[in-house]
């Protein structure tokens, strides 16, 4: 059975790159009828925070991911200790008493020589007696993995192909810190092995960790999983995606009013080419059906906020149901302070205005005329209205007997005013828009007039005429 996992560190918010990794891992497992595990990698006590973990879990659930098993590494320290002892007993690991000052001196020397730093191995060959003496003195120590000299670790990456890395590039590395906490490279191996993970999907920045982990797998007698390293996500300028390109956290797009379905869909297209040609919009169930690692690209993907906005607009206009649209929009309408007690009214407004906005933050601005009692007319728009007094007066005269039950009925009603007053369409539609919305552009006035009660239409126009004198 295929088993994948997503293993974020709770040291910050869920960013788009990690979210894509989670989605690809989830889709791969579900496509093969397998298991998807969420594992919080919180062994870094200083940087890990509970609020980040809660945010990660909330964002993943919001995106529509569900997991079969959940773990926290901080609750598994006893398990790791057992395997550390095993590595020490078999000579695959050893205690390192080097101080931070001594290690920093080694790093500076490497820097001066302009060579990559690797640990000198000064504690590698301490005798058992020397080790016991240093421990008796109370010297703090880390535990390092003993890397075999001159070996090349080769593995077949499911995306990148064959990768070979010489172990001399990194040397003996720490697997337990001096405070007793295990490091990433150790715990990830133990957890993946014990949890039966068969495929590890992660960012290509982890390629340098893979040979270290393979060495630990072999030392502990575990079979390494298959690895698939995903290409990085770049900004429009082809540099690594960062805050200067706009929001990079899932929470930011959630707050901006993006649908999770749209963000899920868009992130799938970053580095993965659907087998169905030009089609780009897919429901989650369809993505599970067609997702395959062979369609993941080796080259970096370029993130575009404009493309994401477009896709979100498509979902709002064409994909989500009336009920789903209402459910997603309601929190934003409430936050804006709009009256939303009349569910049917709100749903009718949302259904008729689907093509007027691409995010729910934008929706709040666009739909303001539908929810406020009075609209403010900017001073610069009052002058054009002075020339339209007759149009507004004629509108009021005809309003009571008008059939405004649909946008088409509204258009017929306004056409009558245009015809009878011998005016051009703009000479009627424009003053009506300004008087009813306080804006020169926005949601169609025909839609607004078909939804707002006649008494609200009347009071807005009467107020404008009163201001005009």
Residue 98 in contact with residue 157, Cβ under 8 Å?
Answer: no
Structure tokens, 273: 């080419």
| Whether the Cβ atoms of residue 176 and residue 143 lie closer than 8 Å to each other | yes
Distances in Å between the Cα of 14 and the Cα atoms of 44, 101, 392 are: 17, 34, 53
| Predicted confidence (pLDDT) per residue in 420-434, tens digit | 999 999 999 999 999
Average pLDDT of the chain, as a whole number:
93
Can you give the pLDDT at residue 243?
58
Q: Per the structure block, which two tokens stand in for 265?
A: 């869909």
Which pLDDT value is given to residue 110? 87
- Mean pLDDT along residues 187-208: 96
Q: What is the pLDDT of residue 244?
A: 59
Q: Per-residue pLDDT for 306 more than 60?
A: yes
DSSP codes, 7-45: ---SSS--BHHHHHHHHHHHHHHHHTT-EEEEEE----T
Q: How many CB atoms lie within 10 A of CB 426?
A: 10
Residue 246 above 70 pLDDT? no
346-374: pLDDT as tens digits: 999 999 999 999 999 999 999 999 999 88
Alpha-carbon distance of 186 to 189, in angstroms, equals 6
Cα(163)–Cα(152) distance, rounded to whole angstroms?
Answer: 10
245 pLDDT more than 70: no
pLDDT value at position 303?
A: 93
Q: Bigger pLDDT: 469 or 326?
A: 326
**pLDDT attached to residue 382:** 81
Phi then psi dihedrals of residue 181, to 5 deg = -85, 135
State both tokens at 137: 């003195």
160 given a catalytic annotation: no
- Give the single-character DSSP code of 229: E
Stretch 234-254: mean pLDDT: 78
pLDDT at residue number 284? 96
Mean of pLDDT values over 315-330: 97
Under DSSP, the state recorded for 300 is: P
Closest CA to 282 of 2, 13, 23: 23
Average pLDDT estimate for 197-224? 97
Domains of the chain: 3-71+185-231 (3.40.50.620), 78-176 (3.90.800.10), 243-319 (1.10.1160.10), 322-372 (1.10.8), 374-469 (1.10.10.350)
Percent of the chain with pLDDT over 90: 82
For the segment 84-96, what is each residue's pLDDT rounded down to a tens digit? 999 999 999 999 9
Q: What angle do CA 173, 17, 62 make, to 5 degrees?
A: 120
Least confident of 53-57, 58-62, 437-441: 437-441
Concatenate the DSSP letters of all residues of 383-394 into one string. Answer: HHHHTTHHHHHH
Find tokens 């590039």 and name the residue. Answer: 169
Identify whether the C-beta of residue 267 lies closer than 8 Å to the C-beta of residue 304: no
- Among 90, 135, 240, 243, the active-site one is 243
Closest residue by Cα to residue 418 from 409, 433, 429: 429
**Degrees, nearest 5: CA angle 379-420-375:** 25
What proportion of the chain, given as a percentage, has pLDDT over 70?
99
pLDDT one-digit tens code per residue, 388-423 = 889 999 999 999 989 999 999 999 999 999 999 999
């Amino acid at each position: 059975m295929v088993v994948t996992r997503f293993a974020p560190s709770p040291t910050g918010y869920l960013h788009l790159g990690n979210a894509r990794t989670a989605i690809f891992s989830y889709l791969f497992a579900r496509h093969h009828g397998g298991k998807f595990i969420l594992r919080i990698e919180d062994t870094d006590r200083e940087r890990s925070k509970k609020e980040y973990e809660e945010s990660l879990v909330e964002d993943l659930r919001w995106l529509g991911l569900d997991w079969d098993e959940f773990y926290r590494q901080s609750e598994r320290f006893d398990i790791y200790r057992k395997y550390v002892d095993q590595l020490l007993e078999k000579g695959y690991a050893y205690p390192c008493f080097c101080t931070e000052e001594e290690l920093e001196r080694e790093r500076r020397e490497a820097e001066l020589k302009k060579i990559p730093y690797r640990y000198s191995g000064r504690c590698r060959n301490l005798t058992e007696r020397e080790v016991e003496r240093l421990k008796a003195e109370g010297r703090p120590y880390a535990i390092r993995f003993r890397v075999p000299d001159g070996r090349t670790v080769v593995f077949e990456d499911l995306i990148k192909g064959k990768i070979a890395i010489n172990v001399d590039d990194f040397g003996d590395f720490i697997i337990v810190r001096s405070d007793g906490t295990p490091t990433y490279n150790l715990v990830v191996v133990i957890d993946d092995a014990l949890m039966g993970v068969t495929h590890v999907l992660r960012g290509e920045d982890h390629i340098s960790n893979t040979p270290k982990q393979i060495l630990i797998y072999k030392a502990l007698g575990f079979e390494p999983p298959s690895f698939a390293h995903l290409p990085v996500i770049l900004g429009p300028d082809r540099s690594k995606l960062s805050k200067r390109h706009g929001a990079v956290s899932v929470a930011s797009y959630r707050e901006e009013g993006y649908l999770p379905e749209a963000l899920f869909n868009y992130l799938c297209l970053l580095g993965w080419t659907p087998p169905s040609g030009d089609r780009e919009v897919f429901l989650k169930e369809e993505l599970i059906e067609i997702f395959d690692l062979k369609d993941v690209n080796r080259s970096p993907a370029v993130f575009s906020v404009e493309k994401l906005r477009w896709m979100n607009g498509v979902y709002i206009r064409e994909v989500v149901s009336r009920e789903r649209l209402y459910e997603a929009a309601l929190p934003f309408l409430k936050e804006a302070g709009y009256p939303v007690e009349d569910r049917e009214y709100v749903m009718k407004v949302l259904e008729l205005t689907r093509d007027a906005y691409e995010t729910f933050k934008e929706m709040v601005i666009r739909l303001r005329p539908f929810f406020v009692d009075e609209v403010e007319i900017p001073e610069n728009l009052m002058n054009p209205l002075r020339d339209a007094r007759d149009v507004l007066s004629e509108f009021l005269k005809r309003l009571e007997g008008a059939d405004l039950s649909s946008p088409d009925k509204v258009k017929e009603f306004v056409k009558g005013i245009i015809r009878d007053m011998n005016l051009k369409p703009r000479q009627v539609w424009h003053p009506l828009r300004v008087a009813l919305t306080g804006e020169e552009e926005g949601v169609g006035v025909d839609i607004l007039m078909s939804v707002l009660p006649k008494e609200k239409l009347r009071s807005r126009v009467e107020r404008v005429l009163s201001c005009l004198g």
